[in-house]
Structure 1
Amino acid sequence: MKLKFNPLSLVILLAFSNCQNDNHNSDLPHDSSFYIDYRSLKGLPDGVAVIELDPEAPNFGNISNKLELGVGVLPHHLYYNQSANKLFTTALGGSYLYEIKTEKDKNGQPKLVNATPINTGENTVGENLFFTNDGRYFMTFMGGAGGAKDGSIGVFNANNNQLIKTIKAPIQNNPNQFIMYPHGISVNEEKGIMMVTSTIHPDLTTGMGNTCTLLDLNTYELKETYLIADSPTDMSSPVEVLLLRGKFPQYALATTMLGGDIWIAPYNAVTKKYDAFTKLFDGSTLGLGWALEMYIDDNSKLYVSFADPGKVLVFDISNLPQLKLVKTLTADKGAHHMVFFKTKKGKEVVAVQNNLLDIPNLNSGTISIIEIATGKTLGTVDLRNKYGILPESIEGTNGPGSYMHH
């Protein structure tokens, strides 16, 4: 957002699959170094860093190298391409999208080399990416071309990073089918559809959304805009959407940032769309708010972060639309993105990045390493006080650190 606010049993050992995909390879060597996007709290350049997150490692919490992108760039989400051989970061400022070159040092440890800005055309405030199998990738731009009710989706050639098309559908033209402030994106390639959320204007004040919009993956035509709120006047701010696919039950899931809830819609094979969304989980019943990210492991467990007060809830989704709460993990305020790995002693853990856009009371600036089986916090890295930075997102250095993200 541009930004005057500067706004599994889990064995997914660094799953070597794009976090948008449904396959994985658990044969990778142990690696507990991770990439983080970060913002400086000292007026220095923002950038990407490599950090050790295994509490059992002697250099736990240490940053081994950094790549500075520039003051006010605000890198936001890290992604691998389809074959996990290229790393990208979106950004809320700067050039909005960068390809990050990495290599291994003489000890085989990850090293950040440089960043190449990618031309996003008129599209501003880069949010999420999704890579498809046909050589494209899609990117949500919450700011669009800069209008008060703007927003767009960029379609890029994954081979050369060239912008192929900008998808725009202003609410002013059709209040029933539109794209506005898009943040989350998910794709079901088998069904030829994608969905984006309508979250909030980049300045966090001009406007808010309460819908998700379904599009044809190939014609880019809008198929339907769904209400993800208790009423048309409930500005719930859907933030992430996940179109379940492959072996999982065929539903769409969405989290609401300001609603603090999880919503669900079943896929309709006749209409080839989703039916209406209904509220599946009400965060307020457990004192939770700001539902953010969704991750699914290989055993039908759904991990959802709630920034307020900083929890990760684990659900069983094997019997959707029934959602069974399995356990609650305690992180810090601003609980947001996650990666999954095993410690050197074999403990299955989730590392939770605790910061949402430096929003007051949601900006702990820490990374919590939590043992999944026991819920015990094995270690916490305080980036705010140790380095004067806030983590914005987190990703594996040996391929994606999750099984399915969106």
Structure 2
Amino acid sequence: MNSVFLFVILVISTGCLNENHNPDHPHNTSFYIDYRSIKGSSDGIAVIELDPEAPNFGNISSKLELGNGVLPHHIYYNLDAKKMFTTALGGSYLYEIKTDKDQYGQPKLISATPIDTGENTVGENLFFTNDGRYFMTFMGGAGGPKDGSIGVFNANNNQLIKTIKAPIQVNPGKFIMYPHGISVNEEKGLMMVTSTIHPDLTTGMGNTCTLLDLNTYEIKETYQVADSPADLSAPVEVLLLRGKFPQYALATTMLGGDIWIAPYNTATKKYDAFTKIFDGSTQGLGWALEMYIDDTNKLYVSFADPGRVLVFDINNLPQLKLLKTFEADRGAHHMAFFKTKSGKDVVAVQNNLLDLPNLNSGTISIIDINSGKKLGTVDLRNKYGILPESIEGTNGPGSYMHH
């Protein structure tokens, strides 16, 4: 991993930087995690030390309880990383989190302010744009069996500006249903969301991604991301590559266990059809989940079953070259990148997916990116009676590009 990446992993993808993003900050091996209690207690957010070389490795130094059944799901920073948010599957679905530093300069959690999401339920992913908006996917929408919506918020005051809905019942060819993943290419004025699964995990499943105009909110196309219309692959995350990266859309399928790709078409100003670029079943892999990119054009993809992270070279897309495979634990999901005290480049892998059987190890694996060796494991299930739901840096985003 080159020196540029070691600098930018704590810088948001727009290139903004503030004093809190100093990669030499003494506490940049502390991370925020969303967690759920498995003992009937409150769910919440915690600060945890993840450097295996630190004497307090695996220790929680600060906790903020959000309430029983809130199920905080994913932590995000706004564009300048001065505000932090968490989405939630229950509770108020979206919260702004206030943080500070203790007397030793360690990050600590102060309070959570619920944000009004209107009729929109089951908060999933966020995306902040440079024009003062942020977008949020709501897998539950207003609560119907084939629902789902995208909320548009004012980033300055957190006010809901608009709810984007496009029921499949109205137009089976262009729709939004069970949206989970979201990605935006501002230069092209495009946004894409996935169609994953009904929040109860049984009522219905999706197998598409939908492209929208970022400004008019018009649906431009709904793409099949599956082997057939009957293949309920459940696309979970989407990534519109942008900037210096090859101009493609990538999608992972939760139930398919695959990676799909679609090229951008300059003539139509849309993406062409998705095709499968990596078949997880051929490698004994299932439940493809998150995608992260480092500054050396390497793509990290987590596979919850059996718990691995695959590293790909994306310099020659649509060819995807597998470089490395890291062993994590069952439920391998979100990631964060950092340097240990001695200078090792590592990735922290959060191993838990919705507390689903055999996908809920409840651990965080620390893996050396260069050697592939697992340097340490934090067992949150047995140590604290909690399961990690997501992970994020305490000095700003813990990855170069996520979605």
Once the two structures are TM-superposed, the CA of residue 22 in structure 1 deviates from its matched residue by 4.8
Once the two structures are TM-superposed, the CA of residue 23 in structure 1 deviates from its matched residue by 3.1
* Residue pairs, 1:2-401, within 5 angstroms: 8-9=1-2, 11-12=5-6, 15-18=9-12, 21-23=13-15, 27-30=22-25, 31-401=28-398
How big is each residue's C-alpha offset from its partner over 1:309-364, in whole Å with a ceiling of 9 and x where there is no partner? 00000000000001000000000000000000000000000000000000000000
Partner Cα distance (2:307, 2:2) in 1 = 23
Larger RCO (CA within 8 A; separation ≥ 6): 1
Structure 1 runs (4+) deviating above 4 angstroms are 24-27
> Does the 8 A contact of 2:6 with 2:23 survive in 1?
no
How big is each residue's C-alpha offset from its partner over 1:163-206, in whole Å with a ceiling of 9 and x where there is no partner? 00000000000000000000000000000000000000000000
- 3-state secondary structure, aligned to 1:49: strand
- 3-state secondary structure, aligned to 2:158: coil
Partner Cα distance (1:226, 1:114) in 2 = 41
Once the two structures are TM-superposed, the CA of residue 288 in structure 1 deviates from its matched residue by 0.2
How big is each residue's C-alpha offset from its partner over 1:94-133, in whole Å with a ceiling of 9 and x where there is no partner? 0000000001111111010000000000000000000000
* Cα pair distance change 1:232/1:154, threshold 3 Å: same
* Cα pair distance change 1:312/1:37, threshold 3 Å: same
> Does the 8 A contact of 2:47 with 2:60 survive in 1?
yes
Q: Which letter maps to 2:11?
A: S
> Does the 8 A contact of 1:22 with 1:404 survive in 2?
no
Structure-2-length-normalised TM-score: 0.97
Which stretches in structure 2 are left out of the alignment for 5+ residues? none
Partner Cα distance (2:162, 2:105) in 1 = 39
> How many positions carry a matched residue from both structures?
397
> Does the 8 A contact of 1:12 with 1:403 survive in 2?
no
- 3-state secondary structure, aligned to 2:63: strand
Once the two structures are TM-superposed, the CA of residue 16 in structure 1 deviates from its matched residue by 3.4
> Does the 8 A contact of 1:178 with 1:225 survive in 2?
yes
CA RMSD between the two structures: 1.1
* Cα pair distance change 1:13/1:359, threshold 3 Å: farther
Q: Percent identity?
A: 82
Partner Cα distance (1:93, 1:14) in 2 = 33
Structure-1-length-normalised TM-score: 0.96
Partner Cα distance (1:61, 1:83) in 2 = 29
Partner Cα distance (1:87, 1:128) in 2 = 13
- Residue of structure 2 equivalent to 1:4: none
* Cα pair distance change 1:22/1:134, threshold 3 Å: closer
How big is each residue's C-alpha offset from its partner over 1:247-288, in whole Å with a ceiling of 9 and x where there is no partner? 000000000000000000000011000000000000001000
Q: Which letter maps to 1:237?
A: A
Partner Cα distance (2:297, 2:7) in 1 = 16
